[in-house]
A = this chain, B = another copy of it.
């Protein structure tokens, strides 16, 4: 019988959504502490700065597979590595972006998604002025070439930053080209087959939530 190492949980049980949303916050905080050469950090400290409760931080860290030492805390370097690998930041997935307007351009210039385990390898647009130019080292190609390239490069992740009225059509095109995960930056709700995962990021909705919290 094979004895599994360290954290079995991670491989079997589903990870609670709330945990999944909190862990990137711990991670960000740890990165910002990293240079202050504190060798160990306690759940209490993490909790204080991220405004969660110590016990919750401990639970979450456990789910992520982090191991600490009583009285000492968690080793800085090791906990960062653990969270990185838990979040998949150490394993880069390639993606395609469609729509090089202001938002698309902002994303291409940002170029720090590598930190989050994703890289935009090619961008697409239908504007002839943009086609065959480059932003931040990323080539912009005719959207007509999307499917062909996606299949050749075996890309499964698409980012949509086109105007609202083209969003669903772009999505359909992506699905047809074999995308299995789509990031939707518009406020149009996407209709996709069941085997395609969608993540929507809607600034308007975020603003509305912010204001609701304010009241």
Residues of A within 8 A of B (CB): 20-21, 24-25, 28-29, 32, 49-50, 87-89, 93, 95, 101-103, 105-107, 109-110, 112-113, 115-118, 156-157, 159, 164, 180-183, 185, 187-189, 191, 197-199, 201-215
19 contacts between A and B (CB under 8 A): A49-B191, A87-B208, A88-B208, A93-B211, A102-B103, A102-B106, A106-B106, A112-B164, A112-B187, A115-B187, A115-B204, A116-B207, A116-B208, A117-B208, A181-B210, A183-B207, A185-B203, A197-B214, A199-B209
A142 to chain B, nearest CB (A): 22
Name A's interface SS.
Answer: helix
Q: Judging by beta carbons under 8 Å apart, are A89 and B183 in contact?
A: no
Q: Judging by beta carbons under 8 Å apart, are A203 and B107 in contact?
A: yes
Please tell me how many copies of the chain the complex holds. 2
Name the B residues within 8 Å of A212 (CB-CB): 20, 87-88
In Å, the complex CA distance between A28 and B167 comes to 14
A215 (CB) vs chain B CBs: closest residue: B88
Name the B residues within 8 Å of A182 (CB-CB): 210
Q: Judging by beta carbons under 8 Å apart, are A183 and B206 in contact?
A: yes
Q: Judging by beta carbons under 8 Å apart, are B93 and A102 in contact?
A: no
In Å, the complex CA distance between A205 and B182 comes to 14
Q: Which residue of the partner chain, among B28, B185, B188, B204, contacts A187 with CB atoms under 8 Å?
A: B28
Q: Judging by beta carbons under 8 Å apart, are B211 and A88 in contact?
A: yes
Q: Which residue of the partner chain, among B181, B187, B213, contacts A197 with CB atoms under 8 Å?
A: B213
- A199-B213 contact in complex given A204-B113, A208-B88, C-beta closer than 8 Å: yes
